[in-house]
Structure 1
Amino acid sequence: MPRGYELGMPHGMPGWVIPLSTYPKTYNGQPLSYVSLAAQKNYHSLYLMALYGNPAADAAFRAEWAATGLKLNMGKSCLRFKTLADIDLDIVTRSVASLSVEDFLATYERIKR
């Protein structure tokens, strides 16, 4: 995990956030989520906010995933899977490690405008 993110429970899900001490001016007064994990009824969801609002990172992630032969079940940032065998943890790890807090906040500010 890049330096500056903290473990938290954003929206009731375990995940990593940008703490309010670093970025207090969020739209809802809650820390900004970076990565979160949720258990749904029929699958698990891994929210990869590094991909949301970053078309180049999203395209690179999807291209790398396609090369694995694994089926990709993903929305804008939500990677859905039933078991760990359904996902490539190396690709997920590289994606999560790829974005510093400063770069994530720059993307957030650009989208917010």
Structure 2
Amino acid sequence: MQSRAATPQDYLNSLPEDRKEAVNRLRDTIIQNLPPGFQEGMGYGMLGWSVPHSTYPAGYHCDPKQPLPFMGLASQKNNISFYHMGIYANKELLDWFVGEYPKYVKTKLDMGKSCIRFKKPENIPYALIGELVSKVTPEQWIETYEAAFKKK
């Protein structure tokens, strides 16, 4: 369920009332903990944070016109989804997150390769997400990305 919103504020304004508070709080948590150098915008129909072309001119290998994506946040039909490419590309970071999660939330972790799904907004571990967000700088993400994804 991709949004057609052109800006983050348009996206937030378009959310159903039962999701606005949680998505806004999660966005605020991300912004407060995000290392300098990432930019917020819209990407793939959701809120996104990426490495801008001014820092990484090559852009995203799948579409070099796009900045290098790092995180996304979306209100889906059945959940709030938080995408973090660092946990997809860095096993050590993934293992840390999976190990920490039960300390914050009693429900089972619902996760794909880079996607963490929250079916109930009251189960979002804001402090843990903030800590996860703070762990990777744009420079570290570029290094990890090039090692893991960029075609040689």
TM-score by shorter chain over 0.5? yes
**CA drift at 1:109:** 0.4
More helix by share: 2
Contiguous gaps of at least 5 residues in structure 1: none
> Aligned residue for 1:23?
56
In structure 1, which of residues 25, 29, 35 is the aligned counterpart of residue 71 of structure 2? 35
**Does the residue aligned with 2:72 lie in a helix, a strand or coil?**
strand
Would you say the 8 A contact 1:8–1:15 is kept in 2? yes
* TM-score after normalising by structure 1: 0.92
- 2:136 aligns with 99
CA–CA separation in structure 1 for the residues paired with 2:129 and 2:107: 13
- List alignment gaps of at least 5 residues for structure 2: 1-33
| TM-score relative to the length of structure 2 | 0.70
- Report the residue type matching 1:36 in the other structure: G
Please list every run of at least 4 consecutive aligned residues from structure 1 whose deviation after the TM superposition is greater than 4 angstroms: none
**The 10-residue stretch of structure 1 (32-41 or 102-111) with the greater mean CA deviation from structure 2:** 32-41
Residue identity over aligned pairs, in percent, reads: 40
Provide the C-alpha distance between the structure 2 equivalents of 1:80 and 1:14, rounded to a whole number of angstroms: 15
- Paired residue for 1:71? 108
Larger radius of gyration: 2
Q: What is the CA–CA distance in structure 1 between the aligned matches of 2:88 and 2:122, rounded to whole Å?
A: 24
Output the aligned Cα RMSD: 1.3
